[in-house]
Structure 1
């Protein structure tokens, strides 16, 4: 199992809509995340600047990264694109973080 941390960037006027959409996550996206081995996935918001911090645990990083190839992820990205900073393929701009400390 690998713990992962990521930073993403939400538009300041989209906080409530972002939360609403995640509370109604597409069933096919939920299934794709589970099939990719994602566990304990949480996203936190810094309301001052719109920075999102995502924490998740995955069984296998390569398998998890393959989620980007799924129709479910591409549909979700297109749905979320108006709310956040995105790449040309509509995937969220993401900064992967290196784990420096963990207390079990």
Structure 2
């Protein structure tokens, strides 16, 4: 098991819509994420900067790298693209976060 953390960026004025869409996450997307070996996935918001901080746990046998090729993942990115900074293919721009401290 490993932990992965990264930052993403919301556009101004879309916090409520971002939250609503995640509250109504598509069951087939949640299933694809889980099947890829991702669990305990949280996204936090810095309301001052609109930065999103995501933290997820990966099983040792995860297939996270295959998720971008899943049609449901591509549809989700298209669905969310208007709300955040994205790459040309609508994948959210991610900035990796470096772990500095952990207290277990």
TM-score range for the pair, normalised by the shorter chain length: over 0.9
**Runs of 4+ in structure 1 over 2 Å off:** none
The Cα shift of 1:60 comes to 3.8
Greater shift after overlay, 62-71 or 73-82? 62-71
Flag structure 2 segments of 5+ consecutive residues without an equivalent: none
Q: What per-residue deviation string (whole Å, max 9, x for no partner) do you get for residues 13-60 of structure 1?
A: 100000000000011110110001111100000111110000000114
Alignment partner, residue 92 of structure 2: 92
Please show how residues 45-84 of structure 1 align to structure 2 within 5 Å: 45-60=45-60, 63-84=63-84
Residues 59 and 82 (structure 1), Cα distance of their counterparts in 2 relative to 1, 3 Å cut = same
Greater shift after overlay, 90-99 or 15-24? 90-99
Distance across 1 between alignment mates of 2:63 and 2:18: 26
Q: Comparing both structures, which one devotes a greater share of its residues to helix?
A: 1
Q: SS in structure 1 opposite 2:89?
A: coil
Q: Does 1:33 align with 2:33?
A: yes
Aligned length: 104
Flag structure 1 segments of 5+ consecutive residues without an equivalent: none
TM-score normalised to structure 1 length:
0.95
Distance across 2 between alignment mates of 1:84 and 1:16: 13
